[in-house]
Amino acid sequence: MTLTRYGWHQWLAITIVFVFVAVIAAYFQLWLVLIPIALLWLALVSFFRNPWRRIPRDLPEGTMVSPADGVVSGVEYLGSHETVDGPAVLIRIFLSVLNVHINRVPCDCELDKTLYRKGKFLDARTNESAKVNESNTLFLYTKGERIGLRQVSGKIARHIVCPIESGDTFSQGQQFGMIKYGSTTELILPRPDDVTVHVSKGDKVRAGVTLFAMLPHPK
């Protein structure tokens, strides 16, 4: 278990503050105070944990792994979506403050572009939040076909991290960013009639590990 580089400013600052407070408590021999200080530090720093993951290999072609940890909050079939320029299936994941917040790509892919939109910070558990909250959309190419990934802020999460650029390439399960403290992540796939979705609403998923969906090659 390590701490993610995407939040090093925050977890380093938290650590410095808590070390300072702990030194003062120790100086005045307030030993019982050290216990809640340590527990609070652990709780705050855990937001930035980066657990080691064994990414599945040799998966069938077209397999998508989950792009986030959390609970599947919806599977929607849309008549059109901007990321795929046509009909799509959208799979939405809700991340609570207790989940790992790092995002991973669902397959081998290349970034075409990103589209950031300012917005509100409604509770990520509401349907409206996915439409009006701050978001960052990734337009990705895989096997010559475009798919989409969307990071959506929540009521608590107000900092989307995505330090990547057009032309960057990624291997399946590779990290590309995070949303700081609880939020929503969406995977958008084209040709919904051909897609096999392996998860249902309410399922718990793990980024880079859970088999999420299958997008076969177009006929």
What is the CB neighbour count within 10 angstroms for residue 23? 9
CA-wise closest residue to 211 among 93, 56, 50, 53: 56
For the entire predicted model, the pTM comes to 0.89
**46 a catalytic residue:** no
Q: Is the pLDDT of residue 126 over 70?
A: no
* pLDDT tens-digit readout, 77-116: 999 999 999 999 999 999 988 899 999 999 999 999 999 9
Relative orientation angle of helices 8-27 and 31-45, to the nearest 10 degrees: 180
Catalytic residue (one of 96, 171, 183, 200): 183
Instruction: Extract the tokens encoding 160.
Output: 């989307």
